[in-house]
């Protein structure tokens, strides 16, 4: 969800103003995903590297998360949305972790769109924690027999299908340590639109672009 800071700066405002406006884009895209029956919508809201931002900005982003969780419960229940947070949650504050746990438990049986918020997440961290978990659970012989798909249950995304489409806003052309393992065959869509300007029409445009892709998974058709 890139470009919040630049969007605010272009308007002579503080970066945090862009993040607040970015929440409106989250609402719009989630509403569209529900309308279209999309099963999973994942948002890269805060990376492990984002902890290195100025403390004020980190606090604002965590505050926004907390505020959204507080405000959105009724909406999620009404729209049958399941809420999931994935990432290194040991770095989040107790208050936020408790609010996340409550929201995940309350929406856990909903069967519509699953909204996954990646918080304090990085792809390299995910692969490493999966390896550690596998090493702690499996015997050496089993590890030596492992196929690539055998690591999937140890990743934080266990049980979640690999993403079909990855959208990156604001003209950035890199993956920035997002789902490195899971995006092996994901289709990428890059747009110059800044995240706060990425609303329903822009989302639909990305989905239409995806619909015209020819996915071969390395095979010949
Ligand atoms: C990247 O833009 C954006 C973020 C690091 C934060 C995204 C968070 C939200 C939109 C709000 C909370 C999310 C949810 C799910 C309620 P940037 O700050 O890097 O902007 P720049 O590239 O212009 O500097």
List, for residues 154-204, the tens digit of each pLDDT value: 999 999 999 999 999 999 999 999 999 999 999 999 999 999 999 999 999
Mean local confidence (pLDDT), 111-122: 98
Catalytic residue of the set 50, 79, 97, 110: 50
82: which strand partners? Answer: 114
**Owner of token pair 């924690």:** 129
Q: Does 79 participate in catalysis according to the annotation?
A: no
SS3 (DSSP) at 46: strand
Distance 44 CA to ligand 1 centre (A): 8
Instruction: Determine the distance separating the centroid of ligand 1 and the alpha carbon of 212, expressed in angstroms.
Output: 29
| Ligand 1 cavity residues, CB under 6 Å | 1-6, 19, 22-23, 26, 43, 45-46, 50, 61, 64-65, 68, 117, 170
Q: What are 32-85's pLDDT values in tens digits?
A: 999 999 999 999 999 999 999 999 999 999 999 999 998 999 999 999 999 999
Residue 185 backbone dihedrals phi, psi, to 5 degrees: -120, 25
Torsion region of 84: left, alpha or beta (phi above 0 gives left; psi -120 to 50 gives alpha): beta
Report the chain's C-alpha Rg in angstroms: 18
Among 23, 36, 11, 56, which Cα is nearest to 206's? Answer: 36
The predicted pLDDT at position 159 comes to 97
What does the longest C-alpha to C-alpha distance in the chain come to? 60
pLDDT tens string 14-31: 999 999 999 999 999 999
Instruction: Report the pLDDT averaged over residues 103-129.
Output: 98
Q: Whose CA is nearest to atom 7 of ligand 1?
A: 45
Nearest residue to 81 (alpha-carbon basis) of 22, 39, 23: 39
> What are the tokens at 67?
């505020």
Instruction: Quote the ligand 1 centre to 210 CA distance (angstroms).
Output: 23
Give the per-residue pLDDT at 221: 81
Considering only CA atoms, which residue is closest to atom 5 of ligand 1? Answer: 46
- pLDDT of residue 111 exceeding 90, the answer is yes
94 is catalytic: no
């Amino acid at each position: 969800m890139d470009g919040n800071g630049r969007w605010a700066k272009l308007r002579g405002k503080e970066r945090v103003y862009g993040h607040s406006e970015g929440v409106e884009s989250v609402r719009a895209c989630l509403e569209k995903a529900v309308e279209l029956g999309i099963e999973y919508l994942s948002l890269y809201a805060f990376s492990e590297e984002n902890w290195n931002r100025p403390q004020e900005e980190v606090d604002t982003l965590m505050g926004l998360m907390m505020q959204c969780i507080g405000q959105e419960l009724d909406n999620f229940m009404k729209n049958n949305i399941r809420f999931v947070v994935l990432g290194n949650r040991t770095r989040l504050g107790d208050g936020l972790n408790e609010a996340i746990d409550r929201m995940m438990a309350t929406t856990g049986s909903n069967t519509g769109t699953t909204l996954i918020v990646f918080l304090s997440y990085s792809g390299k961290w995910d692969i490493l924690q999966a390896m550690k978990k596998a090493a702690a659970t499996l015997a050496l012989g089993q590890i030596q027999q492992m196929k690539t798909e055998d690591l999937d249950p140890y990743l934080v995304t266990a049980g979640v299908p690999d993403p079909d489409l990855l959208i990156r806003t604001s003209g950035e052309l890199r993956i920035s340590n997002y789902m490195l393992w899971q995006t092996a065959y994901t289709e990428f869509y890059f747009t110059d639109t800044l995240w706060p300007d990425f609303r329903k029409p822009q989302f639909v445009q990305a989905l239409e672009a995806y619909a015209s892709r020819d996915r071969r998974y390395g095979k010949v058709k």
